[in-house]
Structure 1
Amino acid sequence: MTRSLYSDLAGESAAHRHLSDEAFLTGLLTVESALSVAAARAGALSDAEAATAVETIRNYHPDLEEISRQSAEGANPTIPVVKALKAIDPTGIHPGATSQDIIDTSLMLCLRDATGEIIAELGELADLLAELTRTHRDTPMMAHTLGQQAVPTTVGCITAGWLQAVLRSRAALQELRFEVSYGGAAGTMTATHPHGFAIQDALAAELGLHNSGLVWHSDRIPVTTIAAALATAAGAVRKIAGDVIFLSASEISELREAQPGGSSAMPHKANPAAAIACDGYARRVPGLLATLFDALDCRLQRGTGSWHAEWQTIRELAAATASAVGRCRRSIDGIVVDTDRMEQHLTGTDVGHAPEIADRVLELYEGK
């Protein structure tokens, strides 16, 4: 993946290491090795043939730049990898598969591991928000609707709303299934008939992936389902960041990040830098999501460009989501609540059911 100084310093996340080109290429080799083992378990290869293939793959060390260059010639990176491997072992490599099987399954490995990191960081964010909600369950402040002061609420009720969205988006990510792909040249598994479904089952088991028992070469819903869940998480933290930015404005000054950013020209400023970075990363996600939904138009038995558009897009979407979640956690960690300033803005004391609303979300959190 293309990286920048800003990305590395502002949005570094444990998820990123699973989304790089290096991770994707490693995934291709992992899938090829697992496929040879699966084919042997299904009876399509001998154990000796599979062992030779696994050893060949283990000793193969591709040059990323060279593979990238060769990928352009065949419109995907699997072709040069398989060509190089088959030059060494023509028998046990790539049994019955097509490039799409290897690429889609490698992407699923990358996304599964990256999503696990995002889930963990959302859990850390939820812990911070729950503590903030408990501490300020009864702390009164003014609510705002349509950008204007409305009626009193509590800080805990506001942060409980943030927590609620984080819990829901995290749960959606936890429910995702990352599917193995094995269908062969045109999705009929002809080359390994009658062992095709047995290979599919064994490959999923070898890699720890879900197997629907279906071929999804031109059904891209497994990809858009993951993308939509990631985008929802990005949207959840972007909402939090937006509220922090608004409530940190000089005219309001009810919240302040523990480590605010400065200004190169205005030293008096204390910018909510982490929230701003979160907002910036999350704003990239809807456009990336739109590209993936556009790729649902996967023509005939293999997409002509639509499938190819997914490989980088889904990884960039996951990386942007991870960065947004990480920056949101940083923003909330140690955030300062200025209760004196909030009291100055109050126009009343009736907060209705606000504390009880906070309690209900905390119950949801405690049962997570």
Structure 2
Amino acid sequence: MKTILKISMITLLLASIPVKAQQKKDKSPNVFLISLDGVRWQDVFTGIDTVLLNSPYTHEKKLLKQKFVGRSTEENRTLLMPFFWNTIAKEGQLHGNRTKGSKVNLTNTMAFSYPGYNEILTGKADDENINSNSKIYNKNKTLLELANDSKQYKGKVAAFASWDVFPYIINDKRSGVPVNAGYMDATGDLNEQERFLNEIQRQAPVLWESVRLDVFTHHFAKEYIKKNHPEVVYISYGETDDFAHGGLFDFYIKSLNNTDKLIQDLWQYVQNDPFYKDNTYFIITTDHGRGVGVEESSKWTDHGTEVKGGDQTWMALLGPEVKATGEVGEEQLYTNQIAPTIMGILNLKTDSKTMPGKALDLKFP
């Protein structure tokens, strides 16, 4: 009887020990910074653009109408980006709806990708040195590098991107931050899924030599996250901008809808992993805006200094200390506020000279 009792107690004890789940040893927060290249605030906050839907830019008008056109603006945007409007709008914050007076702008004057990503990641515009998309190593330190230089987050930072310029933007050689971008393979001790992704990423259609399909970026990131549990993660999805430049509104819209699903997939994973659950922030934004229609001065396919709306951006925030306000009205925010906000969440010091933007007060927007 005693032997049976001992065995039962041992069985119960073993059952109480998680086999695969990894608990975080401290309570330092995790941050996932996510960007969607060249996605307009109009598409996020008002849903599918019916002018562009009925323009020569769209070939599958009937299909898009069936999937993304409802009876109101609110229904349209929820059909297009259900995770944003069913989860973030209820549990977090959305900034940048200009119809409600919420404005988010770039501080760099370039309004294209490298300057935009530099501003997001460093908290400071650098028009003098960053005025092209050329593969030039960034002299500025990103928040990823600053985190990786810290005692708390050393070796716990990683970045994944669809665009192959990101190793230069993040300056992977100097920063030591592992960056998987473009058509780079996963390296190191690979699991079966990573080996499979390496094998197939160029077997799928290669639409652009410098930008891979976002599904590969997403799953390379997710496998790394599952294996290594990094605490500061940057993921840059890139398809939307390239589809827009190509004048392919159908693909732009479907890609935006899919990216919303990918972010939802990542959030669901995070909320079911004991390492990340209830201690992880998602901060989501874009690198620049773009034109609003078909006129040359504000053409939807373009962005940059001469394009009206190119400097208009947006941001979404979700996490344990983020006050659930949904859409915020009457404010002026800037993209350079993202980096100091993340540094504040991570409890890492910075200064106004390094990051001149004011960190957001997540509890009281």
TM-score range, shorter chain: under 0.3
TM normalised by structure 2 equals 0.22
Tell me: higher relative CO, structure 1 or 2? Use CA pairs within 8 A at least 6 residues apart. 2
Q: Which of the pair has more CA radius of gyration?
A: 1
Identify the structure with the greater helix proportion: 1
TM normalised by structure 1 equals 0.22
